[in-house]
Structure 1
Amino acid sequence: MYVPALGQPLFRFLNAALIAVPLLGAAVSAQPVLLPALSDHSSGELTIYSSLDNDLALPMLKAFQSAHPDITIHYEELLTSALYDRVVHETDAGGPTADFVFSSAMDLQVKLANDGYAMPVITPDTPDWPDWANWRDTAYALTFEPAVFAYNKQSFADTTPPETRLDLMEWIESDPDLVHGRIGTYDITRSGVGYLFMARDQELYQGIWDVVAAMGRADLRQYPTSRELLERITDGRLSFGYNLLGSYATDWARQYPDQVGVILPRDFTVVISRVALVPASAGSPENGAAFLAYMMSEEGQLLLSQTLRLSAVSLEVAGQTTPAGSLQDLSGLRLKPLPVSPGLLAYLDQATRARLLERWDRAIAGR
């Protein structure tokens, strides 16, 4: 197993991440999915809480069930914060809770593991899993996904869209009236991944608050989901989207190639993962562990890469699925991946969070 590093193998690997599927849609209204056992002799149930859209999860669920026809699967799509709260509440109430949890909110997943809400699981692939993607055998990264800029192509028909944060500020100042109300990003008070991106930006870039202030002067629009942002970029209500989850944005660019463009920032690109765990209070922990083992297997990683179009952590698998043509050259990028580690918990400290949100509000308001 090759461990990702900031070298050419990782650049080649990330190409696979740039053809992707919708991930952060309107999860609040999603209905649970039930897949009855395929055989007449049920051997139990598997309950999954995930931030992955129902439609996109189905190939994953059906592939696992074909190998385990005696298992009935219950799948619930939730926003990341609701998913975390659900596991904590159900566990603290005496359980049971889900058997498998899969979320893009790395910090919340690591907090579940750190606070004792996840159990250690050793799969056949654990010994070879990258160190950055495994914390104490309780929280495993299964994907590797960049944050991107997305833009409406018609809005930039006569000019080059921003490729760095400095470019973004210069574009805003070049024509304030034209830009006014045309920039969007996540509402970091409601989007876990949006907050994570901004917290990471603050760590990596001293001038980030100048960027936020510039977007605030341009009447920045904020939304809790990627879908709401991409819909508005596609139809032209927004010209530019800041820090969108790349796996979502690139699918819209694939579906609407004349409307949507995607850029990986050239100054630095934050990369996050979707993290999986088996809760300590799982009703059927053996089934949760079996599903985790499947998703870490070569077959499961191929499914993520080829069918769900999510970048696989297994670089051997990613190498098999790299498209012939990539969205753009990655060799010049400064990639900033987040490891699965207790360091993520700093983003959840309430005082730290309050300070970041207060500074965000001040910058947006021009104070």
Structure 2
Amino acid sequence: MRLFDRIMPAIATALTLWAGGVSAQVTLFPAPDDQTQELSIYSSLDNDLAAPLIAAFQARHPDVTVRYENLLTTELHDRIVAETRSGTGTADFAFSSAMDLQVKLANDGYARAVETPDTPDWPDWANWRDTAYALTFEPAVFAYHKPSFAGREPPATRADLMRWMAEHPAGARGRIGTYDVARSGVGYLFLARDQELYPNIWSVVRAMGRAEVQQFPTSADLLERIADGRLAVGYNLLGSYAADWARRHPDVGVILPRDFTVVVSRVALVPAAARQPGLGADFLAFLMSPEGQGLLSRTLRLSAVSLEVSGQPGPAGGMQDLAGLRLKPVPVSPGLLAYLDQATRASLLGRWNSALAGQ
């Protein structure tokens, strides 16, 4: 292994392990120099997006091997809770798109307070008691199939979307997609925020139901179908993934809604039971630094929270200028725990299903 590390330090070794009944993709990023420490990360960020961040961190810490486990957001939460309770220790750093579950970990005592050099200047909405930090700024967007809108403007507001569905029923039928909100945590969060911010949202949902909206659990499922034209419009897609697909697939367009734009974040924390909490804090500090935020914003196009990233017009990252938009970021706060209440969830999902059925 040491010979492998020295000859090909940039190559990661991937394997699948079973831990507590959960299948986890584990990737090892060997230390560029002789290893003296190992940083363990649990994350919902895809490996190809995480790899540049890890490489940049290892350039600063060449003696650190990174053990990276790509987990679903619920699995990530449950692993940290179970491993903390068992007393075996858990990951040193956790990074997830499930804002509510990350805040629940912090609120329930599973995260430790960490101050980084950038903590004093971090936005108040993006930091809860120095235990849970929002690191990205990701709008919910409309994605669309460009050839399907040749010669006319695609919908830019929810009212536009309703008008297009009414005026082009044949073109809309079966060709609108969104998240399956019962299976997608971010899709459910977007719906909950829509309900809070837009009283007419249920008219939009009923119109999508009449147009036989298609529901999918992941961004990739939706964007693949938009790219090949099976779907004409995707509603409330996570902007980071949509922007990445738009760069690689010329037929995919992205619009940040002009009536209001919900913004969610990937939330990071250092678990209270981390085996190497100092390394976890170092990785957090790196991601909050101008270099780390620059990578998130420019290289990964995940959009940075920090407004100090050199060369950026604001938190838009690579998608487009957010000037003039009604941005509605979801604060990192215990208010997110309301979305986990089972009665609240059942009520919202019931209303969603009823509206899709035209009730």
TM-score, structure 1 as length reference: 0.87
State the Cα deviation string for residues 223-265 of structure 1 (Å, max 9, x = none). Answer: 11111100000000000000001111112112222x1111111
State the Cα deviation string for residues 254-306 of structure 1 (Å, max 9, x = none). Answer: 2222x111111111100111110001111111111111111111221222222
Kindly indicate whether residue 343 of structure 2 is the aligned counterpart of residue 351 of structure 1. yes
Residue type of the alignment partner of 1:98 = A
CA distance in 2, matches of 1:53, 1:346: 27
State the Cα deviation string for residues 174-228 of structure 1 (Å, max 9, x = none). Answer: 1323311100001111111111100000000111111111111111111111111
Name 1:115's counterpart in structure 2. 108
Stretch of structure 1 that moved more, 305-314 or 350-359: 305-314
State the Cα deviation string for residues 133-187 of structure 1 (Å, max 9, x = none). Answer: 1100100111111110010011111322111111111111213233111000011
Kindly indicate whether residue 288 of structure 2 is the aligned counterpart of residue 296 of structure 1. yes
Name 2:308's counterpart in structure 1. 316
Match of 1:262 among 250, 254, 258: 254
Name 2:30's counterpart in structure 1. 36
Is the 2:301–2:318 Cα contact (8 Å) retained in structure 1?
no
Is the 2:243–2:301 Cα contact (8 Å) retained in structure 1?
no
RMSD (Å) for aligned C-alpha atoms: 1.9
Kindly indicate whether residue 125 of structure 2 is the aligned counterpart of residue 142 of structure 1. no
Is the 2:184–2:217 Cα contact (8 Å) retained in structure 1?
yes
Residue type of the alignment partner of 1:37 = A
CA distance in 1, matches of 2:126, 2:284: 14
CA distance in 2, matches of 1:210, 1:275: 32
CA distance in 2, matches of 1:261, 1:364: 26
Match of 1:338 among 326, 330, 333: 330
Shift of the alpha carbon at 1:85? 2.0
Alpha carbons of structure 1 residues 43 and 327: separation in structure 2 relative to 1, 3 Å? closer
Kindly indicate whether residue 241 of structure 2 is the aligned counterpart of residue 248 of structure 1. yes
Name 1:231's counterpart in structure 2. 224
Stretch of structure 1 that moved more, 294-303 or 141-150: 294-303
Name 1:284's counterpart in structure 2. 276
Residue type of the alignment partner of 2:63 = D
Trace 1:1-367 onto structure 2 (pairs within 5 A). 31-40=25-34, 42-257=35-250, 259-317=251-309, 319-322=310-313, 330-367=322-359
CA distance in 2, matches of 1:87, 1:35: 21
Alpha carbons of structure 1 residues 189 and 326: separation in structure 2 relative to 1, 3 Å? closer
Runs of 5+ unmatched residues, structure 1: 1-27
State the Cα deviation string for residues 324-366 of structure 1 (Å, max 9, x = none). Answer: x986564332111111111111111111111001111111122
Alpha carbons of structure 1 residues 157 and 249: separation in structure 2 relative to 1, 3 Å? same
Shift of the alpha carbon at 1:93? 2.6
Name 1:16's counterpart in structure 2. none
Alpha carbons of structure 1 residues 102 and 328: separation in structure 2 relative to 1, 3 Å? closer
Residue type of the alignment partner of 1:284 = Q
Is the 1:106–1:275 Cα contact (8 Å) retained in structure 2?
yes
SS of match in other structure, 1:167? helix
Residue type of the alignment partner of 1:321 = Q
Stretch of structure 1 that moved more, 108-117 or 307-316: 307-316
Name 2:10's counterpart in structure 1. none
CA distance in 2, matches of 1:262, 1:306: 17
CA distance in 2, matches of 1:122, 1:331: 31
Is the 1:95–1:282 Cα contact (8 Å) retained in structure 2?
no
CA distance in 2, matches of 1:277, 1:326: 25
Is the 1:30–1:54 Cα contact (8 Å) retained in structure 2?
no
Q: Percent identity of the aligned residues?
A: 72
Stretch of structure 1 that moved more, 216-225 or 64-73: 64-73
Alpha carbons of structure 1 residues 115 and 326: separation in structure 2 relative to 1, 3 Å? closer
More relative contact order in 1 or in 2 (CA 8 Å, sep 6+)?
1
CA distance in 2, matches of 1:140, 1:327: 22
SS of match in other structure, 1:320? coil
Shift of the alpha carbon at 1:81? 2.1
Residue type of the alignment partner of 2:267 = V
CA distance in 2, matches of 1:348, 1:302: 32
Shift of the alpha carbon at 1:322? 4.3
Question: Number of residue pairs matched?
Answer: 336
Is the 2:313–2:321 Cα contact (8 Å) retained in structure 1?
no
State the Cα deviation string for residues 52-97 of structure 1 (Å, max 9, x = none). Answer: 1101111111111122122221001122222222222222232321
Alpha carbons of structure 1 residues 172 and 30: separation in structure 2 relative to 1, 3 Å? farther
Alpha carbons of structure 1 residues 165 and 61: separation in structure 2 relative to 1, 3 Å? same
